[in-house]
Chain A
């Protein structure tokens, strides 16, 4: 087996900067073939070590794409890993047994038929799909199917299991994002000033680009310095280092979203230091996307971290010292450097001399204008002097590009920082920063190490100072040190100001006019400069329109590689400067983030009552009622109705909203919340109330009991409980200044309704301390006493229409009391009943269910609640709107109805009359509730009808399963109109 594993032909000998462990080998497959990797390798570094150069195919033309950035920024190395699509293989560790494959290729990465789109590319300009596929219209679904199948990248495995995800909250005085030189300096400075610091690093080690710069300072290699600085950071008691963590979003008030593996970190920080460095970006030239063309930073990463070099003959195109340094490094690892072209006029003399010692041709003021490919990768490049006078073709299989940077400033922009284009540096620099947000290092446009170190320290000190002045105790100790801190800040600011003025460009000004074809501005979406010119010609001439039309910057990299180039090309064709052209908005996340990590585990637990297990054991069919589980019935709802009507039943109503209202102003509050009167409700009395919203729409209903002058107990509907709580609380906090304290007791108390002709007899057996006689404890009264030995609140109410007692007890005793009542009721033939039986009985009694019988417009005057409304009351919520509505007249009403022919309509069926609608009908009302009543043996319900059709006996048509049926208005309630049973 081992013999079939591809050899690591491109691996260099061990070196101290490498982070791979050659002792430990893992194997994985790529496109079905087996490869080996060392521990510490990424998928991409292992594949590059085996000589793989094509990693993906491009989105539109299916061109071969190879490693470009090696830093998880560009789209070129996106692969499918098992069930996970769109994995950036250059930053994903290779693991034993991984199955890695190319995406969006047919039939394979090597032979991709879809690359034939290149042959007809002249017919596929930017936005071609807006101009085609319209005729005949009937064929659009087919065209669309083809387009859809061609689009998309990775595949979703619809059988994938969700996995385990987690969330963590963190707090910090100072958070530093980016563990490079600037970030480490910041963290140390802030931590030395006593701030609690969190340092977030997206990679596995601190050190940033120092780890792979390959440089030495004196005797010490830079990566060693990085390591020792990292050790100092790690050892600092005030610093918590979070590696492999991507800070993907900065939200309002320094709320940071970060993700570490499967864990979402939600971090509130007093100050934020962004030291995220810069993205190296490629220039635009013909065939700039060929495999074998890599950024300088990518080449150095591969060499120094993984000991991999991806080529034998290189050309380096540069615009800053790092390019020349990379060329030297390549020579040292045995790569032939065929030429170095540098866009600058004045090059670093010492580096040039060293290169020339090795016989390398160094061409100043020269750039690359074209690359040419062999079968699978780069074969040669065309270099041309900037004045256009000299041109040469150089053979090579590796082109290294060190020509520009774009600050990785997404977090700063999300925070509201402003950037400005610096014509000297050819880069965006910071123009302003919001409060408590600081920046240091390459993200500010500084590429010089002295500057970076200074800026790091400055940002750390400023962040600590900003975090300290919030008056808490820790700040006191900090404040004592403010004077020296401020002195150091001033000193650093002066130094930085001086060196800033002397900064030189590290990013080359590009050739304005691109001559060639297939010069890609946007690698994700295959957008060329020609596409951009064409889009601008068509009128999409601002960056935002250009982005939406040409799709430049809309792909996986979200503009990291292309924003600056697109801006340059756009500005050029518009005849504007880059500053005039303006940028597009930067939005979170900085890099794509897994939905699993964001979603975590759904924190919406199933709510069950204390009697839940009893119901289940009893064989109840449970249903979802809002966030709760409730028994719909225990097998036979009709039998349950009969039991309550003839004997006695017990229902679990623990899901009701239950509120304790304390304070002397509770009556005043109730007067305002409810449409009816409350001031004179005596102690021990219960009253039904209806709440409206500001538009006079019925919001909720329930009963409230006065237990003491300053203590009331309110119930709300199960589904309305949380909104009623928020509603009352919002009014209490909104300026009424009432002496009322509201407590949500919904989960503190279990509740059950014991109801039926024998309810009193059953309760008598287990109740102490309350005279249950009708005279002593009449209908709509409340009493406190003991039930089954437990302190209980009893409300004598009657939703079912029978004698009934609501029994409210502490939750922990709910099951005990329930069982006691069931045992006590045994001799009376007690049955537990569920929601369905209750619905039937309330309908027989003509009680409405708010939200089912009423809707988002129903006011109480039309909902059969007019008797309750006291418009002569001083005020109540919704009164103004209700007065309006009553003055304009009531147009519809909620009434009872029967079905003379016994048809059972469905809830939601419409009441219609002949009209000129599309099927000859006009809607005039609707059925809100309907049941076949076992008690009355007929179909009864509630419905909305035009006000003029509401007389008892009036007939109307209902559309039931497509057929018209007759209904007839009936008098409410259907059952026990005199209320004899309730009051018995």
Chain B
């Protein structure tokens, strides 16, 4: 606030630069590939918590240009499995502190999160989630139409819709955030502590010698390093491939859209698995909406008309009065899907090559906790308890995590 007032009174003095540009050094202690929330958070916590500052973050385009800038900004921890809940709960707690921590208002708005149940099997799943959440200390419970009406009076709670609303999982700490601000805040924090952020720097190869990482080749030159963290999304398999690591991941498009700005009428985040839709109203007044991943694998960032049609149709099922509200913009991102709808974090068979990938449609929610815990892993060489369930080897061991029920349309 003070910097604003100071700037206002003395307009000539510019604000401090958020991050600097650097020449690419010959070597870094740690190279992080991917300038999204995961990569930048890892860099930030490496520098802040572990004093490791000789770190480069390499970003092919501009920071936040991937999933971090394309998601629908929903934060929550009401997952289905105990390991998932514990993990995302730490993330929500870090998000709650983030504005003050970074001295940058990321506008985390804990306006409550409702996952609607339209049939008895989803009611059962919601109760299951609520029970798991409560035992894990997460505020989450099953509520019925009378209480739903108080939280979101404009939902069509009658029995007229094709899929009437029977109940909802209510998660008060869930909410929305200004996603770009999270990226920028972490970038500034990392930069201030000496991390080099290299935008417009594409990784073209990873050098592996005798089973160890030796360096990274980029569009701007070669870097020597013993530690590489693959924190990319959408193309994580291609990056891993450069190190000779195969990941059990397929890539699917995920689309989203916003309406023109409207005066606020929707306070909570609304999710409906049956209708494949989630929606929140941003602080700008736009309805931000998304659906489940496209069923086909693709790296395409092109939008489809089919998405707009089905999303609009389903939105009007929930809110019949939205017919005359207009779609302003649609876009797409690409998501790395694992079979158990859970990420892959930790070591790989190549020494010094770590992954923080497979983030499907839930990566943004986990940015702070994965950054913090991956930094801990890199610094201490000890896998934190929270990361253990998400190890790469689980696919060989037949020990999958099983978040499909809560994550497939679970925004």
**Interface residue ranges, A against B (CB under 8 Å):** 59, 83-86, 104, 120, 122-123, 125, 128-135, 137, 140-141, 144, 147-149, 151-163, 165, 167, 249, 251-252, 255, 257, 264, 266, 414, 534, 537-540, 542, 544-545, 548-549, 551, 555-556, 558, 585, 587-589, 592-596, 598-604, 606, 623-626, 694-696, 719, 851-852, 855-857, 859, 881, 884-885, 887-888, 906-910, 912, 917-919, 921, 923, 926, 959, 962
**Residues in chain B near residue A86, CB distance under 8 A:** 260-262, 325-326
* In the assembled complex, B60 has its CB within 8 A of some CB on chain A: no
Contact A593 B305, beta carbon cutoff 8 Å: no
In chain B, residues 106-129, which have Cβ atoms closer than 8 Å to a Cβ of chain A?
106-110, 118-121, 124-129
In chain B, residues 63-93, which have Cβ atoms closer than 8 Å to a Cβ of chain A?
63-65, 69, 82
From A137, A152, A601, B285 is in contact (CB under 8 Å) with: A152
Contact B283 A148, beta carbon cutoff 8 Å: yes
From A85, A549, A923, B135 is in contact (CB under 8 Å) with: A923
Q: Cα distance A959–B164 when bound, in Å?
A: 29
Contact B184 A549, beta carbon cutoff 8 Å: yes
A917-B137, A926-B128 known; A540-B18 Cβ under 8 A: yes
Q: Is the interface of A mostly helix, strand, loop or mixed?
A: loop
A852-B121, A884-B397, A917-B135 known; A85-B325 Cβ under 8 A: yes
From B82, B184, B285, A151 is in contact (CB under 8 Å) with: B285
From A551, A695, A962, B339 is in contact (CB under 8 Å) with: A695
A151-B285, A251-B304, A592-B260 known; A134-B402 Cβ under 8 A: no
- Would you give the shortest CB distance from A576 to chain B, in whole angstroms? 13
Contact B402 A856, beta carbon cutoff 8 Å: yes
Q: Which of A548, A595, A696 has the most CB of B within 10 A?
A: A595
**Residues in chain B near residue A624, CB distance under 8 A:** 118-119, 163-164
**Interface residue ranges, B against A (CB under 8 Å):** 1, 3-5, 7-9, 11, 14-20, 61-65, 69, 82, 99-100, 103-110, 118-121, 124-132, 134-137, 153-154, 162-164, 178, 180-181, 184, 199, 259-265, 283-285, 300, 302-305, 308-317, 319-331, 339-341, 396-405
14 sample A-B contacts, Cβ–Cβ < 8 Å, listed by A number: A86-B261, A137-B100, A149-B264, A151-B264, A151-B285, A156-B325, A537-B17, A556-B260, A593-B308, A596-B324, A598-B311, A599-B314, A601-B313, A626-B119
- Output the nearest chain A residue to B197 by Cβ-Cβ distance: A539
Q: Cα distance A626–B118 when bound, in Å?
A: 9
**Residues in chain A near residue B400, CB distance under 8 A:** 695, 857
Shortest 5 CB-CB distances between A and B: which pairs?
Answer: A918-B137, A152-B285, A596-B323, A908-B127, A599-B313
A587-B303, A888-B397 known; A542-B260 Cβ under 8 A: no
From B1, B128, B330, B405, A587 is in contact (CB under 8 Å) with: B330
- Would you give the shortest CB distance from A570 to chain B, in whole angstroms? 13
Contact B340 A534, beta carbon cutoff 8 Å: no
**Residues in chain B near residue A857, CB distance under 8 A:** 340, 400-402
**Residues in chain B near residue A603, CB distance under 8 A:** 313
- Would you give the shortest CB distance from B110 to chain A, in whole angstroms? 8
**Residues in chain B near residue A161, CB distance under 8 A:** 320-321
A595-B326, A885-B398 known; A151-B131 Cβ under 8 A: no
- Output the nearest chain A residue to B327 by Cβ-Cβ distance: A593
Contact B7 A125, beta carbon cutoff 8 Å: yes
Contact A151 B327, beta carbon cutoff 8 Å: no
Contact B62 A544, beta carbon cutoff 8 Å: yes
**Residues in chain A near residue B263, CB distance under 8 A:** 104, 149, 152-156
- Would you give the shortest CB distance from B56 to chain A, in whole angstroms? 17
Contact B321 A157, beta carbon cutoff 8 Å: yes
**Residues in chain A near residue B184, CB distance under 8 A:** 130, 540, 549
- Would you give the shortest CB distance from A459 to chain B, in whole angstroms? 23
From A545, A594, A907, A909, B323 is in contact (CB under 8 Å) with: A594
- Output the nearest chain A residue to B129 by Cβ-Cβ distance: A908
Q: Which of B15, B308, B404, B405 has the most CB of A within 10 A?
A: B308
Contact A595 B105, beta carbon cutoff 8 Å: no
**Residues in chain A near residue B326, CB distance under 8 A:** 86, 592-595
**Residues in chain B near residue A601, CB distance under 8 A:** 313
Q: Cα distance A598–B312 when bound, in Å?
A: 6
Contact A131 B119, beta carbon cutoff 8 Å: no
Contact A592 B121, beta carbon cutoff 8 Å: no
**Residues in chain A near residue B14, CB distance under 8 A:** 534, 537-538
From B3, B99, B132, B330, A588 is in contact (CB under 8 Å) with: B330
From B1, B181, B308, A257 is in contact (CB under 8 Å) with: B308
Contact A596 B285, beta carbon cutoff 8 Å: no
A534-B15, A910-B132 known; A623-B120 Cβ under 8 A: yes
A156-B262, A888-B399 known; A912-B135 Cβ under 8 A: yes
Contact A908 B128, beta carbon cutoff 8 Å: yes
Contact B180 A600, beta carbon cutoff 8 Å: no
- Output the nearest chain A residue to B69 by Cβ-Cβ distance: A548
Q: Cα distance A154–B137 when bound, in Å?
A: 40
**Residues in chain A near residue B302, CB distance under 8 A:** 251-252, 414
- Would you give the shortest CB distance from A120 to chain B, in whole angstroms? 8
Contact A855 B405, beta carbon cutoff 8 Å: yes
- Output the nearest chain B residue to A605 by Cβ-Cβ distance: B162
Contact A255 B305, beta carbon cutoff 8 Å: yes
A153-B262, A594-B326, A624-B118 known; A133-B1 Cβ under 8 A: yes
Contact A158 B62, beta carbon cutoff 8 Å: no
- Output the nearest chain A residue to B332 by Cβ-Cβ distance: A587
Contact A252 B162, beta carbon cutoff 8 Å: no
- Output the nearest chain A residue to B331 by Cβ-Cβ distance: A587
Contact B309 A539, beta carbon cutoff 8 Å: no
- Would you give the shortest CB distance from A910 to chain B, in whole angstroms? 5
**Residues in chain B near residue A593, CB distance under 8 A:** 308, 326-327
Contact B18 A919, beta carbon cutoff 8 Å: no
Q: Cα distance A624–B164 when bound, in Å?
A: 9
Q: A257-B305, A959-B135 are in contact. List 6 more A-B contacts (CB 8 A).
A: A538-B17, A544-B65, A595-B323, A856-B404, A884-B396, A908-B130
**Residues in chain A near residue B327, CB distance under 8 A:** 589, 592-595, 598
Q: Which of A123, A149, A160, A596 has the most CB of B within 10 A?
A: A596
Q: Cα distance A129–B321 when bound, in Å?
A: 31
**Residues in chain A near residue B130, CB distance under 8 A:** 908
Q: Which of B1, B184, B323 has the most CB of A within 10 A?
A: B323
Q: Which of B8, B127, B305 has the most CB of A within 10 A?
A: B305
- Would you give the shortest CB distance from A766 to chain B, in whole angstroms? 34
**Residues in chain B near residue A122, CB distance under 8 A:** 7-9, 11
- Would you give the shortest CB distance from A623 to chain B, in whole angstroms? 7
**Residues in chain A near residue B109, CB distance under 8 A:** 141, 144
Q: Cα distance A165–B309 when bound, in Å?
A: 12
Contact A908 B316, beta carbon cutoff 8 Å: no
**Residues in chain A near residue B405, CB distance under 8 A:** 855-856
Contact A542 B199, beta carbon cutoff 8 Å: yes
Q: Cα distance A366–B67 when bound, in Å?
A: 47
**Residues in chain B near residue A159, CB distance under 8 A:** 321
Q: Cα distance A151–B287 when bound, in Å?
A: 13
Q: Cα distance A551–B264 when bound, in Å?
A: 19
Contact B322 A125, beta carbon cutoff 8 Å: no
Contact A160 B324, beta carbon cutoff 8 Å: yes
A540-B18, A596-B312, A881-B398 known; A908-B331 Cβ under 8 A: no
- Output the nearest chain A residue to B316 by Cβ-Cβ distance: A599
From A144, A156, A251, A558, B265 is in contact (CB under 8 Å) with: A156
Q: Cα distance A129–B61 when bound, in Å?
A: 26
- Would you give the shortest CB distance from A177 to chain B, in whole angstroms? 15
Contact B105 A129, beta carbon cutoff 8 Å: yes
- Output the nearest chain A residue to B284 by Cβ-Cβ distance: A151
From A158, A623, A908, A917, B125 is in contact (CB under 8 Å) with: A908
**Residues in chain A near residue B19, CB distance under 8 A:** 539
- Output the nearest chain B residue to A167 by Cβ-Cβ distance: B309
- Would you give the shortest CB distance from A536 to chain B, in whole angstroms? 10
A599-B314, A625-B119 known; A549-B180 Cβ under 8 A: yes
Contact B262 A852, beta carbon cutoff 8 Å: no
**Residues in chain A near residue B164, CB distance under 8 A:** 624
- Output the nearest chain B residue to A910 by Cβ-Cβ distance: B131
